[in-house]
Amino acid sequence: MHEIAIVKDIFKTLEQTYPETYENIDKITVQAGLLCNIQPILIQNAFEAFVLEETRFKETELEIELLPIIAHCSQCESQFEVRFHKFVCVCGQSSDQIVQGEELRISQVIFKD
Protein backbone atom coordinates (compact mmCIF):
# COMPACT_ATOMS: atom_id res chain seq x y z
CA MET A 1 0.00 0.00 0.00
CA HIS A 2 1.17 3.47 -0.97
CA GLU A 3 0.66 5.04 2.47
CA ILE A 4 2.45 2.27 4.37
CA ALA A 5 5.44 2.76 2.10
CA ILE A 6 5.41 6.49 2.83
CA VAL A 7 5.28 5.93 6.60
CA LYS A 8 8.11 3.39 6.43
CA ASP A 9 10.10 5.80 4.34
CA ILE A 10 9.62 8.56 6.89
CA PHE A 11 10.92 6.35 9.70
CA LYS A 12 13.82 5.13 7.60
CA THR A 13 14.83 8.73 6.92
CA LEU A 14 14.53 9.59 10.62
CA GLU A 15 16.64 6.59 11.58
CA GLN A 16 19.37 7.69 9.19
CA THR A 17 19.18 11.33 10.22
CA TYR A 18 19.03 10.79 13.98
CA PRO A 19 20.77 7.46 14.69
CA GLU A 20 21.37 8.38 18.35
CA THR A 21 17.98 9.78 19.26
CA TYR A 22 15.76 7.95 16.80
CA GLU A 23 13.87 6.08 19.50
CA ASN A 24 13.03 9.23 21.46
CA ILE A 25 10.89 10.93 18.89
CA ASP A 26 7.84 12.54 20.39
CA LYS A 27 6.27 14.17 17.39
CA ILE A 28 6.84 14.24 13.65
CA THR A 29 5.40 16.86 11.33
CA VAL A 30 5.24 16.06 7.64
CA GLN A 31 4.38 18.57 4.95
CA ALA A 32 2.70 17.22 1.87
CA GLY A 33 1.93 19.25 -1.22
CA LEU A 34 -1.54 18.74 -2.62
CA LEU A 35 -0.09 17.41 -5.88
CA CYS A 36 1.24 14.39 -3.97
CA ASN A 37 -2.34 13.21 -3.55
CA ILE A 38 -1.74 12.40 0.07
CA GLN A 39 -4.79 11.62 2.15
CA PRO A 40 -3.91 12.57 5.74
CA ILE A 41 -6.42 10.08 7.16
CA LEU A 42 -4.87 7.23 5.17
CA ILE A 43 -1.40 8.24 6.34
CA GLN A 44 -2.63 8.32 9.93
CA ASN A 45 -4.12 4.83 9.51
CA ALA A 46 -0.89 3.54 8.01
CA PHE A 47 1.04 5.18 10.83
CA GLU A 48 -1.14 3.50 13.45
CA ALA A 49 -0.64 0.14 11.77
CA PHE A 50 3.11 0.81 11.73
CA VAL A 51 3.34 1.61 15.46
CA LEU A 52 1.37 -1.52 16.30
CA GLU A 53 4.39 -3.42 15.03
CA GLU A 54 6.99 -0.89 16.13
CA THR A 55 5.67 -0.44 19.65
CA ARG A 56 8.62 1.74 20.69
CA PHE A 57 6.87 4.47 18.70
CA LYS A 58 3.43 3.94 20.15
CA GLU A 59 3.54 7.31 21.90
CA THR A 60 4.89 9.14 18.91
CA GLU A 61 2.57 11.60 17.27
CA LEU A 62 2.33 12.30 13.56
CA GLU A 63 0.96 15.46 12.06
CA ILE A 64 0.33 15.98 8.37
CA GLU A 65 0.28 19.50 7.02
CA LEU A 66 -1.14 19.90 3.55
CA LEU A 67 0.49 22.58 1.43
CA PRO A 68 -1.48 24.41 -1.25
CA ILE A 69 -0.30 24.34 -4.83
CA ILE A 70 1.52 27.53 -5.77
CA ALA A 71 2.49 28.37 -9.33
CA HIS A 72 4.59 31.15 -10.78
CA CYS A 73 3.25 33.45 -13.45
CA SER A 74 5.91 34.66 -15.89
CA GLN A 75 3.57 37.30 -17.29
CA CYS A 76 3.24 39.36 -14.10
CA GLU A 77 6.13 37.74 -12.21
CA SER A 78 3.98 36.79 -9.27
CA GLN A 79 2.83 33.62 -7.60
CA PHE A 80 -0.71 32.39 -7.30
CA GLU A 81 -2.50 29.54 -5.62
CA VAL A 82 -3.86 26.82 -7.86
CA ARG A 83 -7.34 25.78 -6.85
CA PHE A 84 -9.48 23.09 -8.42
CA HIS A 85 -6.69 22.29 -10.89
CA LYS A 86 -7.03 25.74 -12.43
CA PHE A 87 -3.50 26.77 -13.36
CA VAL A 88 -4.47 30.30 -14.32
CA CYS A 89 -3.13 33.48 -12.73
CA VAL A 90 -5.35 36.45 -11.78
CA CYS A 91 -3.92 38.25 -14.84
CA GLY A 92 -5.36 35.54 -17.07
CA GLN A 93 -2.09 33.92 -18.04
CA SER A 94 -1.91 30.16 -17.64
CA SER A 95 1.13 28.65 -16.00
CA ASP A 96 2.32 25.24 -15.01
CA GLN A 97 5.48 26.40 -13.25
CA ILE A 98 4.90 24.76 -9.90
CA VAL A 99 6.80 26.34 -7.02
CA GLN A 100 5.02 24.45 -4.26
CA GLY A 101 2.73 21.45 -4.08
CA GLU A 102 4.91 18.52 -5.11
CA GLU A 103 6.93 18.15 -1.92
CA LEU A 104 6.64 15.47 0.69
CA ARG A 105 9.02 16.25 3.52
CA ILE A 106 9.58 15.97 7.21
CA SER A 107 9.34 19.56 8.38
CA GLN A 108 9.75 19.13 12.14
CA VAL A 109 10.86 16.49 14.61
CA ILE A 110 10.36 16.94 18.33
CA PHE A 111 12.20 14.70 20.76
CA LYS A 112 11.20 13.66 24.24
CA ASP A 113 13.15 15.33 27.02
Enumerate binding residues for Zn ion (CB under 5 A). 73, 75-76, 89, 91, 93
**What would the DSSP string read from start to end of 75-86?**
TTTEEEEEBTTB
Amino acid at site 97: Q
Residue 77: CB minimum distance to Zn ion, A: 8
Residue 64 CB partners (closer than 8 Å, separation 6+): 29, 30, 31, 32, 38, 40, 43, 44
Amino acid at site 45: N
Residue 41 or 76 with smaller CB distance to Zn ion: 76
Residue 99: CB minimum distance to Zn ion, A: 13
Residue 93 or 108 with smaller CB distance to Zn ion: 93
Residue 75: CB minimum distance to Zn ion, A: 4
Residue 30 or 71 with smaller CB distance to Zn ion: 71
Residue 17 or 93 with smaller CB distance to Zn ion: 93
Residue 20: CB minimum distance to Zn ion, A: 48
| Cβ atoms 71, 79 nearer than 8 A | yes
| Residue 23 neighbours by CB distance under 10 Å | 13
